[in-house]
A and B are shown apart, each in its own frame.
Chain A
């Protein structure tokens, strides 16, 4: 076992005041954020800086004709106009495929297209001016001839013989397809006691970060370097991207990422307008700033979750799952998004369907096709909410067909808690999960008997309430098996450098990044715990490729599990070095010493021997008094990468209690519960808030959020009045519980916690709505569950 005990890791006792791992330490950066003293990219103002605005395609698909820039160039303040051809001179296109996704194809994408626009909102021409307002005036004065072409918008017809082939050189609109098949699926269905099936739809939606995408690129001709201030999750990845496509050395590109106002996966991708900004800075030799506005965010941030899934489930007479058979279809826009690709979400559906359950026969196909809509890519809980809704929707249908309680059918099928290690039918390897313990914990929290009695009583009054459950698994701590083996320069390893300065204060720099979720808070906790200092004495540096160890950044729930472990190991190494120096000073064996609250102490008695401040003074200013051969490296760096498992899977289960108004189709969320197991909980408060925030985004997908296009590919939801995000007034009371099954891959034992809420919430809400509607013989499987869809299911409207 890898319990963190003094014996196992040479750390201070758990009851010491600087034992922070597992405690709800308030985040040190919160005052800065709430006092408006954060530094977002838009707060950065550089000398000689200019501003970019983009003319975006008004058509879903159009040939770009003549571009007349003369009037735009005459607008006061406008400096220069760039077309696709201008930028192609300094910037190479990219193709977003991964080698391990067999047969995947996509077309070369330029920062600005050379001849055709392929989605409404695609940046086509850039105007650079003294101010953003002047740049927009310039955009308004551009005259671009667009020749509209037929648009391919419906994913269902993307592979039909008469489909518009969006990139003729690819031959068709098929990007990727994969089928996972194990066991005897046909036989299982043939011999099943009951077979249930449904057609599920998950609505295309997007991340809606509070801070929009933001970038300043500054090319310095004097030293040939490009410095990019960027609101991003992955500075090192972007460093590589800018270098490669602008034909520079990676070492000549620096990406700086200060405060980021939310990301949710939106800011881990390569956007053509952002690369265009870097290319324009390269040409101009001046800093160029671009801050997406909300219109641009809706039309050009990645979208996600645009899936149609036909699925079947076979069960035996006891409710045991015999087989899942799933057919997933997803439309990803006109390009796979660089460098992670847009095939991962469908691939995740294949990997994750049926995930919580113990069964043998499995078939799942994903088909990933092109369409003339905004590109889709990874967004919080990639593929998980889709797979969970499908799996859990089918489980409830099976329970209904069998006349079995939905809790009971889950209990009979969840993988046993002592079954690990376990390999799922699609080949996912689970190190250790806690489905039954989590279900038990959930049932301690959810008053099921009381709720069922209330439900029964309310139905007599014509009030329709429902209780729904959704068990889930979540993929966290990704290894190189996620992207690296496919050829992408995306680091699965991360590092942390911890140093002690002369005053005894600690500075840690990490390759993982902070977007508002509290990464820096947990790093400070871990480092303070590991070294033995008050958390207030620790400063954290993230988000600068020149000053932090090379790493992957924060995505796919790896900040705590990967970055946290690197921080812990480097902190322990620093502590050992400090104790060696202290031992020499105090003429004591280093093993007999400890560090507590910034003081070197006698381990046996706890008596204070010297302060770190004093130790620092001697090391840095009176090194002459120390033995000549004494190592005094008060800077230590450690890296961490998972080696045993491709991913650290987590698990959990959610419950949702809702009221449906059958007259209006409105859903009222009454209460929500989530029990999840993210291994070691470093900071319970932050994990709970991650889960709550995740649930809210799951609620968004289930009830509100939807990027709606008309049949011509025009985006209809371009403002926050039309694209509905979940608001606090509609949110239910949420209860969060934990089971802790630490991963043995690391000392810290932490897995990811950021996506659990989003993974399970839509499925739980869907099942709750359908539980409410059951006496009315209606059910819904198409997200978002709008009043219109519920009224249609009820037959209230045709």
Chain B
């Protein structure tokens, strides 16, 4: 199918953006990397009056560390995220996630802001930022808001963003933590049938603040409260891992999809839980 006819405007700055959005109202559709939007246009699933291009807005760019947080600008492309040294040092979970996101051509165009704003339940980055307890920094004509990532994803393809509001950046608190991401996808680059982004600390041999966040198994990233609680304060060992796997059943309510029934997603989530958590054990701990 061919795209519907539409207008195009490019915003040079945030103030410029607010005036363009005000001018076009609900007919405006923001475009950054376009890796989801362009497909929906080609499917004629959306017919915006005007595409508003934000890729030249300098305030939305850049990766920096200050005041105890890693700040990642919304326009950061997946490929940039994957090769950035600050990200690798302070949020290696994101570095590990990037190769799992689609294919190189998509990673060269797609942005972190776009991925979070679209909020696909099977996408990696939303799960990662919930696991990292990040804050989504938004901007609008009314000013800035700071929304905890766990509150940002509200429903299937739904976020806490208001009309006229965009993601400006993601802020990840600097912390010593262990993290890992694994997923099961039919082919490399496919959306996961099930995935797990996990972060936790081990202090004095005990698990502290575990955050097990599953993707591809719900309406958005699922922070598994019961499974995480089953680990909190316990030694990471076969028993606690099994407890987390057992508790997981009540955390997840996966939908059926083309790949299989809810039961299969639950099963895969349990398998991933075991694999990710076992990955945190060093070989001597496993032997013990």
Contact = CB atoms under 8 A, between A and B. Distances in A.
Interface of A: 131-133, 136-137, 140, 293, 295, 663-664, 666, 704, 708, 716-717, 719, 721-722, 724, 726-727, 729-730, 786-788, 791, 796-798
Sorted from nearest, which 8 A-B pairs have the closest CB atoms? A788-B260, A133-B2, A729-B188, A663-B271, A797-B263, A664-B184, A797-B264, A727-B187
Contacts of B44: 136, 140
19 contacts: A132-B2, A133-B5, A136-B1, A136-B44, A293-B1, A664-B184, A664-B268, A664-B271, A704-B186, A704-B187, A719-B43, A724-B190, A727-B187, A730-B188, A786-B259, A787-B268, A788-B259, A788-B264, A798-B263
B189 interface: yes
A710 to B, nearest CB: 10
B15 interface: no
A787 B271 contact: no
Nearest to A131: B2
Contacts of B260: 786-788, 791, 797
Contacts of B190: 721, 724
Contacts of A133: 2-5
B266 to A, nearest CB: 9
B183 to A, nearest CB: 10
B259 A295 contact: no
B258 A708 contact: yes
A523 B184 CA distance: 46
A788 B261 contact: yes
Nearest to A293: B1
Interface in B253-288: 258-261, 263-264, 267-268, 271
Contact of B267 (A716, A721, A729, A791): A791
Contacts of B258: 708, 716-717, 722
B271 A724 contact: no
Interface in B1-56: 1-5, 43-44
B152 interface: no
A797 B256 CA distance: 14
B5 A787 contact: no
B215 interface: no
A730 B259 contact: no
A719 B36 CA distance: 14
B153 interface: no
Main secondary structure of the interface of B (DSSP, over half): loop
Contacts of A798: 263
A727 B1 contact: no
Nearest to B259: A788
Contacts of A797: 260-261, 263-264, 267
Given A133-B5, A663-B271, 13 more contacts: A133-B4, A136-B2, A664-B184, A716-B258, A717-B258, A721-B190, A724-B186, A727-B187, A727-B189, A730-B187, A787-B184, A788-B259, A791-B260
A787 B261 contact: no
B214 interface: no
Given A295-B1, A708-B258, A722-B258, A796 B267 contact: yes
Most A Cβ at <10 Å: residue of B184, B187, B193, B259: B187
Main secondary structure of the interface of A (DSSP, over half): loop
A730 B261 CA distance: 24
A140 B1 CA distance: 11
Contacts of B5: 133
B187 A729 contact: yes
Nearest to A135: B2
Contacts of B188: 727, 729-730
Interface residues of B, number: 24
A739 B3 CA distance: 52
Contacts of A131: 2
A786 B271 CA distance: 17
A798 B267 CA distance: 11
A797 B259 CA distance: 13
Nearest to B3: A133
A136 B263 CA distance: 41
A59 to B, nearest CB: 19
Nearest to A798: B263
A51 to B, nearest CB: 10
Contacts of B2: 131-133, 136
A786 B5 CA distance: 41
A293 B271 CA distance: 39
Contacts of A708: 258
Most A Cβ at <10 Å: residue of B1, B4, B43, B188: B1
Nearest to A51: B2
Contacts of A788: 259-261, 264
A708 B188 CA distance: 21
Contacts of A664: 184, 268, 271
Interface string B168-197: 000000000000000010111111010000
Contacts of A722: 258
B164 to A, nearest CB: 29
Contacts of A726: 187
Most B Cβ at <10 Å: residue of A664, A722, A724, A786: A664
A139 B145 CA distance: 44
Interface string B133-170: 00000000000000000000000000000000000000
Contacts of A666: 184
A117 to B, nearest CB: 20
Contacts of A724: 186-187, 190
Nearest to B5: A133
Interface in B191-244: 191, 193
Contacts of A791: 260, 264, 267
A132 B42 CA distance: 13
Nearest to B268: A664
Nearest to B185: A666
A787 B191 contact: no
A128 B193 CA distance: 42
B150 to A, nearest CB: 28
Given A133-B5, A666-B184, A787 B259 contact: yes
A717 B190 CA distance: 14
B151 to A, nearest CB: 29
Contacts of A136: 1-2, 44
B101 to A, nearest CB: 14
A293 B44 CA distance: 13
A372 B52 CA distance: 43
Contacts of A719: 43
A293 B42 CA distance: 10
Nearest to A132: B2
A258 B44 CA distance: 31
Contacts of B4: 133, 137
A457 B66 CA distance: 52
B3 to A, nearest CB: 7
A682 B58 CA distance: 60
A133 B259 CA distance: 34
Nearest to B272: A664
A787 B193 contact: yes
Contacts of A716: 258
Contacts of A295: 1, 43
Most B Cβ at <10 Å: residue of A295, A721, A730, A787: A787
Contacts of B187: 704, 724, 726-727, 729-730
Contacts of B264: 787-788, 791, 797
A610 B184 CA distance: 69
A790 to B, nearest CB: 10
A461 to B, nearest CB: 14
A367 B264 CA distance: 34
A331 B75 CA distance: 50
B118 to A, nearest CB: 14
B6 to A, nearest CB: 11
Contacts of A663: 271
A140 B5 CA distance: 14
A727 B190 CA distance: 11
Contacts of A721: 190-191
A730 B268 CA distance: 20
A72 B266 CA distance: 48
